[in-house]
Amino acid sequence: MVVVDVTTRRCALDLQHVREVLSLGPLTPVPAIPAAVAGAVNVHGHVTAVIDLGLLIDGTPGEPRQGDASVLVEVGGYTVVLYVKRIHEVTLVDVGSAVPADAGAPVVQGVVSTELGPLHLIDLSAALQQLTAQIAGRSRGLSGTATTGRDSEP
């Protein structure tokens, strides 16, 4: 697991999904998308979405800026950059000892007690599914509005 700080929580990301640890490049805002997508950056010549993981975990924005810590992950065919407050270490975590997370954090699959305090195990698949659903819902809302507007014209 890669241990990171996300807003006020210490979290663990499954190492199998981590491709690279990065310093966040210049962030380009992307309009009409959920707030959890902080923008886009150039990663080795590829435009890549930057996800504010704090917003997906508990709704707390992380306010990513150029030069901040970030992690390039690949999950379910998607490659995204996760904004994190700080990157600590790579370590082994006994996920079998995890207790269920609170219901208000659907992307946290469990919490493990460590000598440094609670470690929240992040389900990256659930995080990206949640974000994809938000984007799909917003797209349906936008297309529904456009259709309503056209249908109401004389």
Bridge partners of 66?
A: none
- pLDDT above 60: residue 70: yes
Task: Quote the percentage of the chain above a pLDDT of 70.
Answer: 88
* Cβ atoms of 20 and 99 closer than 8 Å: no
d(C-alpha 1, C-alpha 18), whole Å: 9
Residue 146 parent element (H or E) = helix 124-151
Mean pLDDT lowest among 58-72, 92-106, 139-153: 139-153
Higher pLDDT, 148 or 7: 7
In this prediction the pTM is 0.84
Question: What is the mean pLDDT of the segment spanning 30-34?
Answer: 89
Q: 2-149 adopts what CATH topology?
A: OB fold (Dihydrolipoamide Acetyltransferase, E2P) (2.40.50)
Higher pLDDT, 32 or 119: 119
- What are the domain boundaries of the chain? 2-149
What is the model's pLDDT at position 140? 54
